Structure 1
Amino acid sequence: MALHVPAAPAPALRSVLTALGSPTAVREAPTPALRSVQGPLGAELPLPVHVLDRVVPSGGAPVTRLAGWRFHIRSGGRAVAAADTVLTPDGWAFSHFFEGPYLASTELALRQAESAGAHGQARLLSVPELYMLTLWLHADTGADAGAGTLLPTDVLVPLAPAPPGIAPNRPHPAADLLPLMNLRLGPRPLLDTPAA
């Protein structure tokens, strides 16, 4: 497999497994699919979730920060929900369970990337100002999954639903997608653009 899925911090995984083992946490989750599952549940496909922060100086690289780790919750070979973890002063902690279109869209993007022979470290990149989530294939597969700069040659795959004017499930070099994202943002771009 050309894609590299990084290992999640052990405490993050433990926090999700503990939540899955809690009947109260599962029963109170706002996820009908998770609550209706009969049988064992597992946490798989850990992906670091990075957030793309706002404006960086001209010519600078886009700034990202690690927001947490996301796990797909599987039962009987299918994803029924996802679980997010966050870093607290005491370490990694379970945040919440959820479901929705990004769950299937993430799995689709990963399958398409694998079948196309894509290379990179799989991550998620959130762009809150656009209500956008992308699969981020970071070129440096050996990089610390919690760190790293968005490189122009990294590949971004917007997940469905994507903002108007940005086609979902199509891979783009970051250098090509970022200007399009800037157009969607209007007067407050993600990147300062040098004067022509």
Structure 2
Amino acid sequence: MPLLVPPAPAPALLSVLAALSSPTAVQEARTPALRSAEGPLDTETPLPVHVFEPARVPGGLPQARLAGWRFHISAGARVVAAGETVLTADGWVFSRFAEGPYLASTERALRQAETLPDMYQPHLLSVPGLYMLALWLHCRPRTDAATAQPDPTDLLVPLAPAPPGITAHRVHRLVELAPVLSVRLAPPPLLNPAA
């Protein structure tokens, strides 16, 4: 079933388009594929990027905090980079251009999600403490992407490279994978030196 990609805030999109139209911004980007792309560059597939926050109570659901928007940048039919924005006190601003393994992995996960029987709203879920990024498939496709929160029926697709012990591109129910992530993010227990 097709994914219902949420609309990005207009200022976020405009900031990426402005950066793309700036020869200086493109040439100074650390993305060789973007610098060498031929033809017009365009944005597609806006995805809200949320930061994973472990559940505050045992057995509870994790929280997600909107941190930015990522736009895939295409040259013709090929995605060559991503343009990222962040929210500041002055509104949405361009942050950086990026490429690397998560770009192709995101494309693969989106194609994978389109084969699922239900409709979802796609998000990216960042787990900084594990150096992990996942495609978060929210079961409420018409939710405001800025305020979306994890639901027990949501799905997560870890992107490659995934942390050890977590299989990339395997569809997980959020309620199964979130506790694993929370445990891995928990601080180690204090050792009792007197014992």
**TM-score normalised per structure 1:** 0.91
Deviation per CA, 1:46-75: give whole Å up to 9, x if none: 000000124512343211100000000000
Structure 2 partner of 1:133: 133
Deviation per CA, 1:125-180: give whole Å up to 9, x if none: 00111110000000111111011221121000000000000000011110111123
Give the share of equivalent positions with the same residue, in percent: 62
Whether the 8 Å CA contact 2:3–2:114 is kept in 1: the answer is: yes
RMSD of aligned alpha carbons:
1.6
- 1:90 and 1:127 map into 2 onto residues whose CA distance is 26
Which SS does the other structure have where 1:80 is aligned?
strand
The one-letter amino acid of 2:112's match is Q
- 1:45 and 1:20 map into 2 onto residues whose CA distance is 16
- 2:13 and 2:182 map into 1 onto residues whose CA distance is 35
Structure 2 partner of 1:95: 95
Paired residue total: 189
Whether the 8 Å CA contact 2:12–2:94 is kept in 1: the answer is: yes
1:25-40 counterparts in 2 under 5 A? 25-40=25-40
Deviation per CA, 1:91-150: give whole Å up to 9, x if none: 111000010000000000000111233421100000111110000000111111011221
**TM-score normalised per structure 2:** 0.91
* 5+ long unaligned stretches in structure 2: 189-195
Change (3 A) 1:133 1:171: same
Whether the 8 Å CA contact 1:61–1:149 is kept in 2: the answer is: no
How far apart are 1:183 and its partner, in Å? 4.4
Whether the 8 Å CA contact 1:2–1:117 is kept in 2: the answer is: no
The one-letter amino acid of 2:37's match is V
Structure 1 partner of 2:75: 75
Which SS does the other structure have where 1:30 is aligned?
coil
The answer to whether structure 1 residue 117 and structure 2 residue 113 are counterparts is no
Deviates more, 1:51-60 or 1:6-15: 51-60
